Amino acid sequence: MLRQVAQGVLVHQSEFVQSNAVVVRGRAGVLLIDPGVTGSEIDCLANDLRESGQPVVAGFSTHPDWDHLLWHDRLGPAPRYGTARCAATIRDQLSDADAKDRIAAHLLETEIAGQVPLDLLGLITGLPAGTARIPWDGPQVRIIEHQAHAPGHAALLIEERGVLVAGDMLSDVLIPMLDLDGTADPIGDYLEALRLLEEVAGDVDVLVPGHGSVGGADQVRARIEQDRAYVHALRDGGDPGDPRIGPSAKPGWEWVSHVHTGQLQRLARRGERDGTPR
């Protein structure tokens, strides 16, 4: 079911990790950002769009993680965009013939095993580096690219509607998940990304994270502060005291504490290996 969060901006939320697909109405059809997760959900979304007589005229994936790269025939043949780095990263991953099998194997451990359409995963057209806006006939959508959670991660600011689509940043249920694969300064990158989002915070009335609850204007700075405090604690080895982990985690989200422990361990190993401060 699509829920309107601002004029011409609708969200379709999955039960899986509260994943949010975002629909933006344009003149001749819609822009679809991070289309969703299971086949039946994407089907439901396609039905909703068909009923409203709005074809998908463009897609966008905020970053190269499987849950943001899906597509289905029923959504039609629209171009699917991402940043140049996002597109290059997924192209590189898919050049390994076993990549989709590995995703399918990973999904076997989840409640949505066998329900995720992987055929059209990751067929992303990279927008030239530095592209400021998504090329489409609708409200202007500014691309705020940064290095934080995954290579070529982008948040999107739908300027005329005051909506920030944050990708896997600024969630109320997931802690910041750093990109620890082959990056030189994941902590510094994440803090810089939060600073970039803070620059536009004053223009945001509605915040749509890739996973979790849609927030109002007050939530933008609150979540930036919360994420910054978490990253600082990771850096300094302190107790994050973060409501998203430990005993205060919401039921069903206890696994996020394991993500936290894993990040602590990986950062400690990096520090031991190259002697750089965390």
Integer CA distances (angstroms), 124 to 59, 170, 209, 235, in order: 9, 24, 21, 34
Choice from 67, 189, 227, 242 touching Zn ion (CB under 5 A) = 67
Query: CB of 149: closest distance to Zn ion in angstroms?
Result: 8
* Span of 62-70, 153-161, 175-183, 257-265 interacting with Zn ion by CB under 5 A: 62-70
* Span of 3-11, 60-68, 116-124, 268-276 interacting with Zn ion by CB under 5 A: 60-68
Looking at residue 54, the DSSP 8-state letter turns out to be: -
* Span of 39-47, 65-73, 83-91, 218-226 interacting with Zn ion by CB under 5 A: 65-73
Residue ranges in 196-225 that form contacts with Zn ion under rule CB under 5 A:
210
Closest CA to 208 of 249, 171, 173: 171
Which residue's CB is nearer to Zn ion, number 168 or number 242?
168
Q: Judged by CB under 5 A, does residue 168 bind Zn ion?
A: yes
Q: Are 237 and 278 in contact (CB under 8 A)?
A: yes
Query: CB of 28: closest distance to Zn ion in angstroms?
Result: 29
Sign of the CA dihedral running 82, 108, 19, 180: negative
Integer CA distances (angstroms), 71 to 85, 155, 204, 232, 270, in order: 19, 19, 28, 36, 36
Query: CB of 59: closest distance to Zn ion in angstroms?
Result: 16
Q: Are 160 and 141 in contact (CB under 8 A)?
A: no
* Span of 93-101, 161-169, 244-252, 267-275 interacting with Zn ion by CB under 5 A: 161-169
**How many CA within 13 A on the CB side of residue 53?**
2
Which DSSP string do the residues of 62-120 spell out, in sequence order?
Answer: SSSSGGGS---GGG-S--EEEEHHHHHHHHHHHTSTTHHHHHHHHHTTSTTTT-S--TT
Which residue's CB is nearer to Zn ion, number 67 or number 145?
67
Which residue's CB is nearer to Zn ion, number 67 or number 189?
67
Instruction: Give Cα 201 to chain centroid, integer Å.
Output: 18
Which residue's CB is nearer to Zn ion, number 57 or number 172?
172
* Span of 8-16, 59-67, 185-193, 258-266 interacting with Zn ion by CB under 5 A: 59-67
Which residue's CB is nearer to Zn ion, number 57 or number 168?
168
Which residues contact Zn ion by CB under 5 A? 67, 168, 210
